[in-house]
Structure 1
Amino acid sequence: MTNVGFGNLARHVMMQTQMTSVKGNMDRLSLELASGLKSDVGQSVGGDFQMLNDINRQLTVLDSYDHSVLDARMFTDTLQITLDRVQTMSSDLSADLITTAANGTGSAAATASDAAMQDFDTLISSLNGRTGDKSLFAGAAVDGAATISADEMMTHLSAAVAGAATVSDVITAVDDWFMSPGGGFETVGYLGSSDYLSPFQLSESQSASAEIKADDEELRILMRDMATAAIANDPGLALSPEEKLELLDTAGQSLLSNQDALTHTRAGLGYAEERIEIAETQNASSRTALTMAHNDIVTVDSTEVAGQFQAAQYQLEMIYTVTARLNSMSLMDYMR
Structure 2
Amino acid sequence: MTNGISALATSDAMRIALQKIQLQLAKGQKELASGTVADEGLTLGSRVGQAFSLNNQQSQLSAIQDTNKLAATRMTALQTSMTALMKSAQDFSGQLMGARSSPGNASNIADQAKSMLQNLEGILNTNISGDYIFAGENTGVKPIASYFSNPASTAQQAIDASFQATFGFPQSDPRVQSISQSDMQNFLDNQFQSAFSAQNWSATTSSASDTAIKSRISPNESVDTSVTANEPAMRKLAMAYTMVAGLNVDKMGSGAYQATMDKAIAMIGEAVTGLTGAQAKVGYAQQRVTAADDRMTLQSNMFESSLGDLVGVDYNEVSLRIQSLTTQMEMAYSITARVQQLSLLKYL
Structure 2 length as normaliser, TM-score?
0.75
Q: Residues of 2 paired with 1:14 and 1:187: CA distance?
A: 85
Shift of 1:85: 1.2
* Alpha-carbon contact 2:232-2:274 (below 8 Å) kept: no
Q: Residues of 2 paired with 1:307 and 1:207: CA distance?
A: 49
Q: Secondary structure at the match of 2:45?
A: coil
Q: Secondary structure at the match of 1:202?
A: strand
The counterpart of 1:269, out of the listed 258, 273, 282, is 282
Alignment partner of 1:57 is 2:56: yes
Matched with 1:173 is 187
RMSD over aligned CA atoms reads: 3.8
* Alpha-carbon contact 1:161-1:174 (below 8 Å) kept: no
* Alpha-carbon contact 1:138-1:145 (below 8 Å) kept: yes
Cα distance 1:166–1:20, how it changes in 2: closer, same or farther (>3 A)? same
Cα distance 1:240–1:50, how it changes in 2: closer, same or farther (>3 A)? same
* Alpha-carbon contact 1:100-1:245 (below 8 Å) kept: no
| 2:44 partner amino acid | V
| 2:52 partner amino acid | N
String of CA shifts for 1:125-181, please: whole Å, max 9, x gaps: 322333344433343333334343222234432332232722443344344334476
Shift of 1:91: 0.5
Matched with 1:205 is 220
Shift of 1:183: 6.8
Amino-acid identity (%): 21
Q: Secondary structure at the match of 1:309?
A: helix
Matches within 5 A, 1:143-158: 143-151=140-148, 152=153, 153-158=155-160
Cα distance 1:314–1:260, how it changes in 2: closer, same or farther (>3 A)? same
| 2:163 partner amino acid | V
String of CA shifts for 1:188-238, please: whole Å, max 9, x gaps: 334333x41341111211111146333332222222222222235357xx3
Shift of 1:20: 5.8
* Alpha-carbon contact 2:32-2:318 (below 8 Å) kept: yes
Matched with 2:242 is 227
**Unpaired segments of 5 or more residues in structure 1?**
none
| 1:220 partner amino acid | R
* Alpha-carbon contact 2:180-2:253 (below 8 Å) kept: no
Q: Residues of 2 paired with 1:138 and 1:13: CA distance?
A: 75
Cα distance 1:328–1:273, how it changes in 2: closer, same or farther (>3 A)? closer
Matched with 1:89 is 88
Matched with 1:278 is 291
Matched with 1:160 is 162
Matched with 1:218 is 233
* Alpha-carbon contact 2:143-2:207 (below 8 Å) kept: yes
Q: Residues of 2 paired with 1:133 and 1:321: CA distance?
A: 64
Q: Residues of 2 paired with 1:113 and 1:172: CA distance?
A: 21
Number of equivalenced pairs: 322
String of CA shifts for 1:240-295, please: whole Å, max 9, x gaps: 35643552244224423542332122111111111122222223333333334334
Cα distance 1:214–1:169, how it changes in 2: closer, same or farther (>3 A)? farther
The counterpart of 2:204, out of the listed 185, 188, 191, is 188
Matches within 5 A, 1:65-80: 65-80=64-79
Matches within 5 A, 1:1-336: 16=14, 21-22=20-21, 24-46=23-45, 48-102=47-101, 104=102, 106=104, 108-151=105-148, 152=153, 153-162=155-164, 163=167, 165-176=179-190, 177-179=192-194, 184-185=200-201, 187-193=203-209, 195-210=210-225, 212-233=227-248, 238-240=251-253, 243-313=256-326
Cα distance 1:41–1:138, how it changes in 2: closer, same or farther (>3 A)? closer
Mean Cα deviation higher: 18-27 or 282-291: 18-27
Cα distance 1:71–1:27, how it changes in 2: closer, same or farther (>3 A)? closer
Q: Residues of 2 paired with 1:225 and 1:157: CA distance?
A: 13
* Alpha-carbon contact 2:249-2:257 (below 8 Å) kept: no
| 1:197 partner amino acid | A
Matched with 2:171 is none
